[in-house]
Chain A
Amino acid sequence: MLARTADSLFWFARYMERADFVARIVNTTRRLASLPSGESNVANEWEAALSAVGVLEAYEAAHDRVEPNTAIEFLLFDARNPSSIVNCIESGRVNARAVRTALTIETWQTINEGWQEMKKVQAKHQARGLGTEELVAFLDLAMKLALDVDGSAYRTMLRNDAYWFSRLGLYVERADNTARILDVKYNILLPESEHVGGSLDYFQWNAILRAVSAVTSYHWIYRDGVKPWLIADLLILRPEMPRSLLACYGEIVRFLDDISGAYGRQGAAQRRARQILGRLENATMKDVFSTGLHEFLTDFIEDNNSIGGAIAEQYLLD
């Protein structure tokens, strides 16, 4: 297939996944920020949210102070924020439209209709601003769109390189998102923080789970109260948790193998991905905590970026 097509499919999936993540982060941050004062520091929460999405610097370039309304505006609608939900859906659709013929009609129609809905909300927002209920509805729209796009691709696309490249985009983005939300909150996930454990931490832990839609999964797996180190375990090393770093890398290796199998050639991307997967498979939470959770996550985010680079170099450029 055309290198540009593969590139667009990869980014199409990345942007849809990111739209979902940003919507979840905003949702959970709103919950945290609505706690009675004393339970949370509102400005800190929104700063953490901007940081988890990786746009704190861009935000600070545009605004003097972190405030809930400006942060929400920035995360949802601001054109200066490449990861705002509106920009994610817009970029997702631009990429999808560039490769119309590589997508099934179902997947195209899903993104196209979602984009049209988004445009309506955006117009309303520009005309008169949105009420809280409308904001919440918009977040739901973004999450549902990601879900529908993902589902329609899964149900209808041929299992060929077009599908594999789009899945790679999804899992590289998802791994990045999970690692970032953990890293922003790493200080409350350390084993010793149990002693500190006021009610604030409880809400914080729940917020992390909620941000990666894992509240129910947690209870199914651990059948235990929310423990910070178990949250880290769930989101880093648990293979059955679809957003864990390990699960994402299982998928990344699998889809890279599908591609190399079809093309009859392995390359740096495959080797690198297997290395990362191997490290995750052999790790224990004890190792992770002893090397330092923050260090572990920063290294992972860097490794994950290098996979994106290796895929681009091997397949998406000339």
Chain B
Amino acid sequence: MAQSAFFDEMTASGGDVRAVYGRISRWLDESPPELLAARREQAEMMFRRIGITFAVYGDKEATERLIPFDIIPRVLSRTEWNRLEKGLVQRVKALNAFLADLYGKGDILRAGVVPSDIIYRNPAFRPEMAGRPVPHNIYVHIAGIDIVRVDDHDFYVLEDNARTPSGVSYMLENREVMMRLLPDLFASCGVAPVENYPEHLRASLRSVAPLRAGGDPTIVVLTPGQFNSAYYEHSFLADKLGVELVEGRDLLVRDGFVYMRTTQGPKRVDVIYRRLDDDFLDPLAFRPDSALGVPGLMSAYQAGNVTLANAVGTGVADDKAVYTYMPEIIRFYTGEEPLLKNVPTWRCREPDALKYVLEHLPDLVVKEVNGSGGYGMLVGPHASRAEIETFGKKLAADPANFIAQPTLSLSTCPTSFPGGVGPRHVDLRPFVLSGADGVRVVPGGLTRVALKEGSLVVNSSQGGGTKDTWVIDDPQLA
């Protein structure tokens, strides 16, 4: 294995195996390539059987694809995890306080910490939500915070996902598959369980039901339907929660309440875990051409007769322009120093920053403020001269729409592929749940891995894969 300039989570720069990977490293040494290949094949067969697929839009050939799965787990020690968890809780609490403030009194804007124009001119800001409190002031019930490492102590937040973050079904199914494929390795590592995630999710959703729903609120999962890329996850979650998976056409609004159409007539719905973007929720309030939503849903929501999770209008907080202010936002609401770092970011809206970015495009990653899924971005070091030139023009024409970051030396993990094992870049998306009774994070998350050698793009829509993420007890000091 060639020495690389990147922090490898298994093999430290001196070539020694880090203690937390000791067991994994021995297992890799003992396993012949044929065994890894056989396990890889078995894993793929299991995923295909279960039907864990996801759709790539605009890809007619394969409307249902498997996300490649790597059988070598990604490992964090309990100590590392505890540090990360504290940072996640702090960050999500700040996000919720920020949203409550934006749709409430607006202290942070008056204090001049965040410029008001990036809020009010943001298409994800929902004036409909202004002055209408939500239960327990929780806006982001489910957050997915994308984390990367560049060395063995700091965690960087790459992105906050506060709308409808997906991927948690992979966290859970990857674990199931690993337990079946590699039972001995699994058992010998003392891996913290993630299987209680659905329990926590249900508790969080129940805790934010409207008061009048009483002790046993009716919860549903709202999906855009089976042709949505994350449909598998929607049905998976409804199943694990033991609640109905509904589409917009299954719901109706009558006298300010939401009902679902059942074989026994309409039944009232109290909490909607919606996996549908704001724009599509209610054709009367938002996009009139949305056939996926429920006419009148916003009026029932504004009357407080139903809770939406996540709340409407959370997109304003996970915007990439707002991201650059997260350290200040955390300090403003918690009075603490942020535990997780932000990736240094140039706001192209600022003339000095724009000038710098335009001069250094080959070294930078430039992203659209509202983009996601790895689309519409420039990865300078991997782009051709022509691509850089075209992108530069796009950027100069609308600088406020972009931010830029240095290309991070994302950490690598050993990853198996046909023909061997080698380091590949990874990130991590832990899922953070917020309910009336507090913030919960199950120990683990979705590790995404860029399968192409040297690639830094981990998005599944662009050929990334996933790994199981193991939080294990710290190795005993010998």
Contact = CB atoms under 8 A, between A and B. Distances in A.
Q: Do A and B come from one complex?
A: yes
B49 A109 contact: yes
Contacts of B246: 2
A109 B235 CA distance: 14
**Chain B, interface SS category:** mixed
A108 B235 CA distance: 12
A3 B250 contact: yes
Nearest to B231: A97
Contacts of A3: 250, 261-263
A101 B49 contact: no
Contacts of A165: 263
A143 B439 CA distance: 52
Contacts of A213: none
Nearest to B51: A112
Contact of B239 (A6, A100, A315, A316): A100
B432 interface: no
Residue among A2, A94, A98, A113 with the most chain B CB within 10 A? Answer: A2
B226 A4 contact: no
Contacts of B261: 2-4, 318
Interface string A71-107: 0000000000000000000000010011011000100
B260 interface: yes
A251 interface: no
B249 interface: yes
A316 B49 contact: no
Nearest to A4: B250
29 contacts: A1-B244, A2-B260, A2-B261, A2-B263, A3-B250, A3-B261, A4-B247, A4-B250, A4-B261, A94-B226, A97-B51, A97-B226, A97-B231, A97-B235, A98-B225, A98-B226, A100-B235, A100-B236, A100-B239, A100-B245, A101-B238, A101-B239, A101-B245, A108-B51, A109-B50, A109-B51, A112-B51, A165-B263, A315-B263
B235 A4 contact: no
A220 interface: no
Contacts of B262: 1-3
A263 B238 contact: no
A5 B263 CA distance: 9
Interface string A103-147: 001001100110010000000000000000000000000000000
A59 B226 CA distance: 31
Contacts of B263: 1-3, 6, 161, 165, 259, 263, 315-316
Residue among B48, B245, B247 with the most chain A CB within 10 A? Answer: B245
B267 to A, nearest CB: 9
A37 B238 CA distance: 59
Contacts of B247: 4
A108 B247 CA distance: 20
B31 interface: no
Contacts of A105: 50
Residue among A101, A105, A112 with the most chain B CB within 10 A? Answer: A101
B235 A2 contact: no
Contacts of B250: 2-4
B50 to A, nearest CB: 7
B264 interface: yes
A30 B157 CA distance: 65
Contacts of A109: 49-51
B198 to A, nearest CB: 13
A86 B49 CA distance: 20
A318 B239 CA distance: 23
Interface of B: 48-51, 225-226, 231, 235-236, 238-239, 244-247, 249-250, 260-264, 266
Contacts of B266: 318
Interface of A: 1-6, 94, 97-98, 100-101, 105, 108-109, 112-113, 116, 161, 165, 259, 263, 315-316, 318
A2 to B, nearest CB: 5
A112 B263 CA distance: 26
Contacts of A112: 49, 51
Contacts of B49: 109, 112-113
B48 A116 contact: yes
Given A2-B262, A101-B244, A318-B261, 4 more contacts: A3-B263, A101-B235, A101-B239, A113-B49
Nearest to B223: A98
Nearest to A315: B263
Contacts of B50: 105, 109
B244 A2 contact: yes
A43 B272 CA distance: 57
B51 A263 contact: no
A313 to B, nearest CB: 12
Contacts of B225: 98
A109 B49 CA distance: 6
A5 B261 CA distance: 10
Nearest to B237: A101
B239 A4 contact: no
A274 to B, nearest CB: 20
A229 B49 CA distance: 47
A318 B249 CA distance: 10
Contacts of B235: 97, 100-101
A230 B266 CA distance: 49
B253 to A, nearest CB: 14
A263 B236 CA distance: 27
Nearest to B238: A101
Contacts of A4: 247, 249-250, 261
A5 B238 CA distance: 13
A161 B50 CA distance: 24
Contacts of B51: 97, 100, 108-109, 112
A161 B244 CA distance: 14
7 pairs of A and B residues whose beta carbons are closest in the complex: A100-B235, A101-B239, A315-B263, A3-B261, A112-B51, A6-B263, A101-B238
A5 B221 CA distance: 14
A119 B51 CA distance: 14
Contact of A263 (B48, B244, B249, B264): B264
A109 B250 CA distance: 26
Contacts of B231: 97
B6 to A, nearest CB: 38
Contacts of A101: 235, 238-239, 244-245
B202 to A, nearest CB: 15
Contacts of A94: 226
Contacts of A1: 244, 262-263
Nearest to A109: B49
B54 to A, nearest CB: 13
Nearest to A161: B263
A318 B262 CA distance: 7
Nearest to A115: B51
A316 B50 CA distance: 28
Contacts of B238: 101
